[in-house]
Each structure stands twice: as structure tokens, then as C-alpha cells.
Amino acid sequence: MTGRKNRIVIMLTIALMTASCGKNVVFTDSLPVPGRVWTLDNSASFSFNVEDTVNSNNIFLVLRTGSSYPYRNIWLFVTTSAPGGSSITDTLSYDLADENGNWYGKGFGDIHELKLPYRLNVFFPYTGNYQVSISHAMRNAALKGVCDVGLRVERNEK
């Protein structure tokens, strides 16, 4: 009976730890890029609901690239639309690798994932549905080696 109780305690502990890890995640999603070729006309669009206008949030762009990605940086257009129709478009530049070609972020095999800060300590002014659209702004219309594009919104702890 002791072994069974130990297993139950261990399973409950793991369940509680897993649940607490994601408690500050407001939204997270990623979209695969067809054929690992991100074209100018293929925006990654996300929609999420905001209920909290009191606490600040951090918004991250999540990018997964393969070894066939030919550059060490990326330029992005990010359009955020708030409830009521107001929107803002940002032009962003991120370094993905250093001068020697060493990739930043986490990697496994030929895939590298970067969690890129977009807006930190931001307060959502309205409750409701927000939309974010991400497209690349590189000179090549077809950007090879991009596997996934994602968005992550995390609520800051008080």
C-alpha cells in the first residue's frame, strides 16, 4: 500500500507542477510554414482574448528555423489590432545568429527555436479579442528555412 500512496503523491506533485508552469501564459500558438518556405503573401495570423487590463504582459514572437535558413537575421512586419478596430504595425529586426554563424535560442538537430521579445511590460487597454499578424520583410519574396512562426503572451507576476 505504501508504494501505491507514493505513486499517487508523485503523480499529484507532477500534475501540480505542470499546471503551475503555464499559469501566466495568456496565449501561445504557432503555425507551420508550408514547405519551410515563408512567402510574403503568407502572414501568420493569431487571435486571442484578453480579460485582464490590470496586469502587464510580455509578448514574444516565436520563430523556428532550419539549417537551410540563409541569413543570420530577419526583418518582420507585425500588425496588432485591438478590439474596436485600432491597429499598429511595427517593423522589427532580430539577429538569429552571431557573426560566426552560431544560432541563438534553443536547438535540436537542424531546428533552432527563438523566443523573440516583441513588447515587454505592456498593458492591454481593452478587454476583448486582439489580433496579431506576422509577415517577413526580407528582400527575398520566398524565405527558405522557416519552419514555424508563433506568438506567446505571458502575464507578468505581481
Evaluate whether residue 84 is within a structural domain: yes
Evaluate whether residue 15 is within a structural domain: no
CA dihedral for 97, 103, 105, 110, sign (positive or negative): positive
Give me the percent of the chain exceeding a pLDDT of 70: 85
Confidence band of 9 (pLDDT split at 50, 70, 90) = very low
Span 27-55, pLDDT tens digits: 999 999 999 999 999 999 999 999 999 99
Evaluate whether residue 112 is within a structural domain: yes
The pLDDT of residue 4 is 57
Round to whole Å and give the CA distance between 139 and 40.
Answer: 9
Give me the percent of the chain exceeding a pLDDT of 90: 77
Indicate the number of domains in the chain. Answer: 1
Model pTM greater than 0.75? yes
Evaluate whether residue 9 is within a structural domain: no
Evaluate whether residue 110 is within a structural domain: yes
Evaluate whether residue 1 is within a structural domain: no
Nearest of 41, 45, 104 to residue 73 by alpha carbon: 104
Look up the domain containing 70 and give its range.
Answer: 24-155
Residue 34's domain is classified under what CATH number? 2.60.120
Evaluate whether residue 106 is within a structural domain: yes
Evaluate whether residue 51 is within a structural domain: yes
Residue 6 has pLDDT above 70, yes or no: no
* Arithmetic mean of pLDDT over the chain: 89
What number of other Cβ atoms are within 10 A of residue 51's Cβ? 8
Span 118-136, pLDDT tens digits: 999 999 999 999 999 999 9
